[in-house]
């Protein structure tokens, strides 16, 4: 389970260019 969580987080960060989902949301709110 921990490995899966780690892997999912890693994949999400790569997709968002290194940002965590929370940072990504904040960034898109600032841009909008």
Domain ranges of the chain: 2-31
Count how many Cα atoms sit within 13 Å of the Cα of residue 23 in the half-sphere of its side chain.
8
What pLDDT does residue 17 have? 67
Q: How many CB atoms lie within 10 A of CB 22?
A: 8
pTM of the model: 0.31
Q: Which has the closest alpha carbon to 20: 8, 3, 32?
A: 8
Tokens for 4, please give them: 């899966």
Do residues 29 and 22 make contact, with C-beta atoms less than 8 angstroms apart? no
| pLDDT value of residue 18 | 61
Q: What is the pLDDT of residues 1-32, one digit of tens each?
A: 788 888 777 776 666 666 667 776 776 677 66
pLDDT of residue 32: 60
């Amino acid at each position: 389970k921990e490995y899966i969580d780690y892997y999912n987080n890693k994949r999400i960060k790569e997709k968002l260019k290194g940002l965590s989902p929370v940072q990504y949301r904040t960034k898109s709110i600032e841009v909008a």
